[in-house]
Amino acid sequence: MRILHARLLPPALVTALALVLYLLRFSYDYAASDQDELIPFLLHRLDPSLFAHDWFVQTQAGSFNVRTYVVLLLHGLALVLPVWAAVLTLYVAAWTLIATAVYHLGRLLTGDRVAAALAVVAALALTPQWTLGGNDLVHRMFVPSMLAWGLGLWGLGQALRHRTAPAALLLGLATWAQALVGLQLAGLTGLMLLADRRSASPQRRYGPARFAALYVLTAAPSVVPLLLLQYGSPPPGASPDDLFYIQAVFRTPHHYLPSAFPRRALLRFGLLLGLGSGALAWLHRRGQVRHVRRLGVLLLAMAGLCLLAVVCTELRPVLAVAELQLFKTTVLAKVILLIGIARVAAQLLPARLRRLPEALLRSRRRCGMAAVLLAALALFLMLRALEWPGLSRSPDAVALRAVEAWARTATPQDAVFAVPPSDDRFRSRAQRAIVVNFKAFPHQDTAMLAWFERLQALAPIGRPPRGGAAILDDLDRAFEHLTLAELLPLSRSYGFTYVLRRTPLPLDPVYADPSVQVYRLPDDAPLPEP
C-alpha cells in the first residue's frame, strides 16, 4: 500500500497544483470556440430535434468525422450527467492523463521527482503555446487533442520502457481521439524503436514490427473511415490550390504557415530550444539523463518534419502534407526540452529550498491532504468560471447569456439564425441552428467548399491574402453592412428567419439590447428594391 501511495500521490499533487495555477492564469471555458464543433453535435445526438436544420451539425451527423469518437464518449457520459458536467469530467480526465504522463516521463528520463514536478508545472502552466503552429498540450476548455496528448504521452513512456504492446494500444486510442496527434506520435515512436533495433537484444529486435502491427490494428477504426471519407468521395470541384487557400491561408494560417507564426511564438520556441538543448547536452555529459540516444532521434525527426512542413506550405504548397499539421510535433519537443531544463533547475536549487518539495512529496499524509485541497480549489475555480447562479458574473457575460437564453426559450426549436461570423458561442449556448460561423470548420473537401461559400455569402470580403483571426473584424463588418434587400434572398437560399446583429434594419426587432438586436425576417415579404 505504501508503494502504491508513493506512486499515486506525488503525481496527483503535481497535477492538482498545475491545474490550479493554470485556472488562476487562464480560467476555464465551456461551449465556445473549438467546442462549437463538439457541443451542438453532442446535443443533436441526445435530442435529434435540436439542430435538425443546422448545416454544419448535419454535415457531422451524416458521416464519420474527426470528432465522432470523442462525441460518442461524451454521449455516454451525458446519459448520466448534465452535458456541462460530462465535458468537465472529460476535461479533468484529459488534464490528469497529460500531467501524470509528463511527470512519469520526467521521472523516467531524470530519476528526480522534483525535476519531474517542475517539468509538469512549466509545461502546463508556465509556457502556454511556446510551440510552433499555435498548438499545446492543454487549453482553457476541453478539446479532443487534450485526450490524444494524454494517451499518446503515456504510450511514448511505455515505448521508452520497451513495452511495445501497451504503447501501440495507447497510441491507437490517441488516434481515435485526435487522428493527427495519434499518427504523429505513433510515427515518431516507431522511428525511435526502429533506430534502437541494431543495439537491441535479440528478443527486442522485433519490437518495431510488433508495435507497427498492433498500432495499425488499433488505429484502423479511426484512420480508415477518415481516409474513405476524404479520398473515397467524388472530387470536390475545386483545385488543390483553392482548397489549400481555404484551409491553410484563409481559415487557420497560424497552424500551417510559418510566415504567419507570431514573432513572439518564434522567439519563445527558439529560447526553449536553446536552453533545452543546452540542458540536455550538459546532463548527458554528467550522466544525469537517460535515453539520450532516443531523445536525439525524436528531436532530429521532429526537426525534419518541421522542415518538410516549411517546404510544403511556403515553398511548394502540397495540400496533403499541409493537412498533417506537422508543427504539432513541437509540442512533444517542448515537453522533452522542459524536462531537461527542469532537471538542471532542480540541481541549482539551494539545498534548503529543495528539501521542502522533497519532504512534501515523500510524506503520504501531507501530500494527500495538499492534493485534495488543491483539487477542491480547482473544482471551485472551474464551477465559478461556468457562471453558476450565486457566483460572480461579468456584465458582458450577463448580456451575452441574456440573448442566448431568449433565443433558447422564445424561438421555435427549428429556428435558424444568421449571426456575425466571429460568434462561436451562440449555437452551443442558445441551442439554435445558425447558417455558418468562422470557427466551426468541416475538414472534408466538399464540405469545406460549402463552408467557404456560405461564409462569403453572409460576409462578402473576397479572398484576402492572409486570413485567420486578423480578418474576423472584416467579416463581421461585411455581415453588419448587409442590407435588408441583400438579406431576404440569402434567407431563402440558406433557410434562416432570424438575424442577430448590432446595426439596425428597417424592421421592428423581436429582441433589443443596447449592444445587439434580433430581427425576424418576414416569410413572404416581396424582395425590396436594392
CB atoms within 10 A of CB 62: 9
pLDDT at 183: 97
pLDDT at 198: 65
pLDDT at 5: 58
pLDDT at 392: 45
Identity of the amino acid at 106 = G
Residues 217-236 as b/e (b if ≥16 CB within 10 A, e otherwise) read ebbeebbebbeebeeeeeeb
Structural contact between residues 14 and 120, judged by C-beta atoms closer than 8 angstroms = yes
Q: Is 170 left (phi over 0), alpha (psi -120 to 50) or beta?
A: alpha
Pull the grid cell for residue 83.
452535458
Identity of the amino acid at 65 = N
Measure the CA–CA gap between 331 and 131, rounded to whole angstroms. 6
**Which H or E element spans position 454?**
helix 445-458
| DSSP-based three-state secondary structure for 520 | strand
Pull the grid cell for residue 385.
468560471
If we measure between CA atoms, which residue out of 104, 159, 435, 498 comes closest to residue 295?
Answer: 159
pTM of the full structure: 0.94
**Ordered strands of the 416-418 beta sheet:** 433-434, 416-418, 498-501, 517-520, 511-512
Structural contact between residues 330 and 269, judged by C-beta atoms closer than 8 angstroms = yes
Measure the CA–CA gap between 249 and 466, rounded to whole angstroms. 6
Most distant pair of Cα atoms in the chain: their distance: 82
pLDDT at 381: 95
Domain ranges of the chain: 63-230+248-348, 395-520
Using CA of residue 327, residue 223, residue 97, residue 387, what is the dihedral sign? positive
- What phi and psi values does residue 251 have, to the nearest 5 degrees? -85, -60
Which residue carries 426549436 as its cell?
A: 413
Q: Are strands 416-418 and 498-501 parallel, antiparallel or unpaired?
A: parallel
pLDDT at 391: 45
| Strand spans (E) along 110-235 | none
Q: Are strands 517-520 and 498-501 parallel, antiparallel or unpaired?
A: antiparallel
pLDDT at 528: 41
Pull the grid cell for residue 260.
504567419
Block means of pLDDT (10 residues each) for the chain, 530 residues, are 68 97 95 94 97 96 93 98 97 98 97 95 96 96 97 97 96 97 98 80 76 97 90 74 94 95 96 97 94 95 97 93 95 98 93 83 88 96 77 61 93 96 95 97 91 97 94 97 96 95 94 91 57
Measure the CA–CA gap between 328 and 466, rounded to whole angstroms. 21
Pull the grid cell for residue 463.
479572398
Pull the grid cell for residue 432.
439554435
Q: At how many degrees (to 10) do helices 113-121 and 2-26 cross?
A: 30
